[in-house]
Structure 1
Amino acid sequence: MLRFATAALLGAISLTACAQPKAPETTAAAAPATADGAVEKRVRDALRQLDPNFNPDYIGAAPFAGFREVVVSGQVLYVTDDGRYLMQAQPYDIGKRALATSEGLLAHRRKLLASLPHSDRIVFAPPNAKYTISVFTDIECGYCRKLHQDIAELNRQGIAVEYLAFPRMGLGSKDHTDMVSVWCASDRKAALTAAKSDRPVEAKNCTNPVTMQYNVGQQLGISGTPAIFAADGTQLGGYLPPAQLKAALERLPGAVGSP
């Protein structure tokens, strides 16, 4: 669900179908900057007809011809270059076996992820990791716990896991305060493992990054946990078994290394 005044934006239209790209690997041909600027203005003007307060985080060329990719409050929308049609669902790239994303969208996500310092993450990493994933996690959700049980195998597969806090019950909830206690523990890794195993964690408070990480997660459009991002900004989805997660990373060109 969109998190700003898009009730007016999306409530004003009925989305029943989306255009299918001619080929998954096809991208729009590069256009002169002036042409791109005119298209972006046309798209902005069209969306403001639906909501005068429309304020996107990002607008850029979609990974297929004829559309602009729009990010607002973390949600990805696609609008035709003529500003007439909008679709809310993110298309699936059959060739890449992943959600269709442009380099512009990936760069937008990388910038958001890079705003979260490495020192504020809870990291489980093998020596000489081949891949690094950023995982927005909750201490209570079943699939978050299942992923944590796979940590040893993920590390054996050469995958480093960098945890970020996303208390799914929201800021101010018990979930939030418990995650603050984890991030304030003297041994964060042990505290997180205990919390995900239903073992008590000593209540603590300190200057902590939980709220900041949660807010960035919202900007990324996260609505559930775990939410896994590759180093290039690709969202790999929720829980995946280690072999499937490694295979997904191997399909991403340039995914090796840390964000």
Structure 2
Amino acid sequence: MTLPVLKSTSLISIILLATTACAQPSSADAKSNKVTQSTTSSQATQTVSAAVDKRLRQILTQAGIKTQITSIVPSKLPNMYKVNLAGQLPLHITEDGRYVIQGELQKNPSKQVVTKTPLRSTSAQVGEPVSTSVKSDMLANMAALKNMSAKTPFFYTAVPGIIWGAMLEGVPFLLSDDAQYITDGEISVIENGQFIGLDENFEKRKNQSVFASLDKSQLITYPATTTERAVIYVADDVNCPYCRRLHQQVPSLNAKGVTVNVIGYPIYEASPKQMRGIWCQADEDSRRQAFDKAMLQGEMTPASASCTVDHVTPNREKAAGLAVMATPAIYREDGVLYQASFESPEFLEFLGVE
């Protein structure tokens, strides 16, 4: 299996870092830098027990890693070890060898305001949003990073101390729960000696958490017209041609017992204003009719002068936790993303309504 590879462009410098001026470090900052350098030097000299080193090498070799492992040292990510590979990006792996991240870690340039170790998550919290206190502490340590705000979604992963986040544009990343180290790698799973892909359990539970957070009154729902057999969530844009093609199938899906919940997810430049007009309609039926006109006929319904509220953006921001990279993004109610053509027979199999 091919592990996710970190992009050559720096995640922080291009996507996250908001530099507005160069500041002369204060004496306190200089002292802090010395402490940080000392800590980093200390980490570099830490060793891994021979038993752990041997076991991790065996696990990775069995899983198909053929590249030479040059060393295994403690990772700067909590509860993980860093596996240095000859000529490739390093891996970060849990001691039991189950969870693996590939990618270089990037140091958050923000001043670390909160230094206490956060209360680590449990297995029961996998896929849940981080607590209010943890999020507050993380954001306090991310002051130099743009696109990081109270609206940024953060979720607990299966690795205690590793947090999954996404920018509002849907770009995902991983970071330590003290917000000191960030990577755009993903968590892969080794099971029965083989890489089986990304952590599907986390993805499902995270997506379920996102669905639960949505304002249901601001979804456009097309209920099943026969006994309900499946429920899907679709991130839609009125100008997306594939979204329009999927929308043509909605009556057929409804007749097969599928309820379709539409999340307004504008990605085209003209879409936010156009979709606000649709969502401004007075009631659910009027909203559905306006959405149908847009998707089936290309006719947009403008917002009335009396509608000054943006009903689209709040759910769009909450849906950032889905990390939508293209529309239509189709999810089953259990959080599983459909990753093939919705025009193939596999789609109905995926929904369990063959």
Counterpart for residue 111 of structure 1: 209
Counterpart for residue 319 of structure 2: 217
Counterpart for residue 61 of structure 1: 158
1:155-198 per-position Cα deviation (integer Å, ceiling 9, x unaligned):
122211100101112xxx53111101111123111100101121
State the AA in 2 paired with 1:140: N
What is the root-mean-square deviation in Å for CA atoms of aligned residues? 4.4
Counterpart for residue 257 of structure 1: none
1:250 aligns with 2:344: no
State the AA in 1 paired with 2:185: Q
Equivalent residues of 1:165, 1:179 under 8 A apart: yes
Counterpart for residue 236 of structure 1: 338
Structure 1 distance, partners of 2:265, 2:204, is: 20
Deviation, structure 1 residue 239 = 5.2
1:216-243 per-position Cα deviation (integer Å, ceiling 9, x unaligned):
2333211321111111112214751273
Equivalent residues of 1:139, 1:145 under 8 A apart: yes
Q: Could you state the TM-score of these two structures normalised by the residue count of structure 1?
A: 0.64
1:164 aligns with 2:263: yes
1:29-67 per-position Cα deviation (integer Å, ceiling 9, x unaligned):
xxxxxxxx9516997xx84536654888234237xxxxx
Counterpart for residue 6 of structure 1: 11
1:49 aligns with 2:107: yes
Q: Secondary structure of 2:79's partner?
A: helix
Equivalent residues of 1:125, 1:159 under 8 A apart: yes
Structure 2 distance, partners of 1:7, 1:125, is: 43
Q: Which has the larger radius of gyration?
A: 2
State the AA in 2 paired with 1:224: A
Q: Secondary structure of 1:103's partner?
A: helix
Equivalent residues of 1:76, 1:90 under 8 A apart: no
State the AA in 1 paired with 2:157: G
Q: Secondary structure of 2:209's partner?
A: helix
Cα 1:70–1:21 shift into 2, 3 Å: farther
Equivalent residues of 1:144, 1:239 under 8 A apart: no
Q: Could you state the TM-score of these two structures normalised by the residue count of structure 2?
A: 0.49
Deviation, structure 1 residue 8 = 4.1
Counterpart for residue 222 of structure 2: 124
Equivalent residues of 1:137, 1:165 under 8 A apart: yes
Equivalent residues of 1:147, 1:239 under 8 A apart: no
1:199 aligns with 2:299: yes
Equivalent residues of 1:9, 1:51 under 8 A apart: no
Note the residue ranges of structure 2 that are not aligned, 5 or more in a row: 1-5, 17-59, 65-76, 83-91, 93-103, 111-141, 176-182, 191-195
Q: Secondary structure of 1:164's partner?
A: strand
Deviation, structure 1 residue 76 = 4.7
State the AA in 2 paired with 1:178: Q
State the AA in 2 paired with 1:61: A
Q: Secondary structure of 1:246's partner?
A: helix
Counterpart for residue 39 of structure 1: 79
Note the residue ranges of structure 1 that are not aligned, 5 or more in a row: 12-18, 24-36, 63-67, 80-85, 252-259
Find the partner of 2:329 among 222, 227, 249: 227
Q: Secondary structure of 1:190's partner?
A: helix
Cα 1:9–1:141 shift into 2, 3 Å: closer
Cα 1:90–1:10 shift into 2, 3 Å: farther
Q: Secondary structure of 2:338's partner?
A: strand
What is the 5 A alignment of 1:89-100?
100=198
State the AA in 1 paired with 2:346: Q
Structure 1 distance, partners of 2:61, 2:320, is: 28
Deviation, structure 1 residue 133 = 0.6
Counterpart for residue 281 of structure 2: 185
Deviation, structure 1 residue 9 = 9.1
Deviation, structure 1 residue 129 = 1.4
Structure 2 distance, partners of 1:209, 1:238, is: 30
